Homo-oligomer: A and B are copies of this chain.
């Protein structure tokens, strides 16, 4: 095995840039990704951490227009329900937010956790079974950063009914939806989150750290 590689200040600066440019993208250019690029960035999820080396993540690429339309329709239903939970100015603001790039993103990728997997033999899952889902989230985060190193943006759509998505995609109930991802080249580039630009919420200045 090679020795541990030290990382330079220059790399750390660029890594910080990568974190800043990784944004939740909802506005995509229609142009497709170059052939093989999705597979290249997906391959990097092999290096994501997973509990007990269970690698519980399962990816499903959705290309059929009629299936995309059904997903889009479920998003609209879930979004209308969410809107109904707000009132006054907040409802008006919510109604104007662009919350998904389902129409324009060239790649739709649904990500599941296989709760029935035997890989890893449940190590680390006895008191925290949710570690399987957390492993999948780590893979999604890895994918997000890997995509951005190629200038590719990603948006995570959570305004969906998970069981409905399983039904639309004809997937077993043990596959638990973790993320529905829109992937493509961003229409606009900014390091400021869209929700901050739109006045929905602001990021904190400091990270909360308690002592015990």
A residues near B (Cβ < 8 Å) are 1-7, 11-12, 14-22, 24, 39, 42-49, 51-55, 57-64, 67, 78, 81-82, 85-86, 90, 94, 97, 99, 119-128, 130-131, 133-134, 137-138, 140-142, 144-146, 148-151, 156, 158-162, 169-170, 177-179, 186, 189-193, 195-196, 200-204, 206-212
Which 3 residue pairs across A and B have the least CB separation, nearest first?
A4-B189, A19-B47, A53-B201
**CA A202 to CA B158, docked complex, whole Å:** 31
Contacting pair B161 A211 (CB below 8 A) = no
For A11, what are the chain B residues with a Cβ–Cβ distance below 8 Å? 11, 14, 149
5 intermolecular pairs with C-beta atoms under 8 Å apart: A4-B151, A12-B149, A86-B121, A99-B124, A126-B159
Contacting pair B42 A162 (CB below 8 A) = no
For A78, what are the chain B residues with a Cβ–Cβ distance below 8 Å? 126-127
- Nearest residue (CB) in B for A109 is B209
Q: Shortest beta-carbon distance, A124 to chain B, in Å? A: 5
For A121, what are the chain B residues with a Cβ–Cβ distance below 8 Å? 86, 90, 200-201
Contacting pair A149 B203 (CB below 8 A) = no
User: Contacts A39-B209, A207-B46, A208-B58 given: A195-B3 contact, CB under 8 Å?
Assistant: no
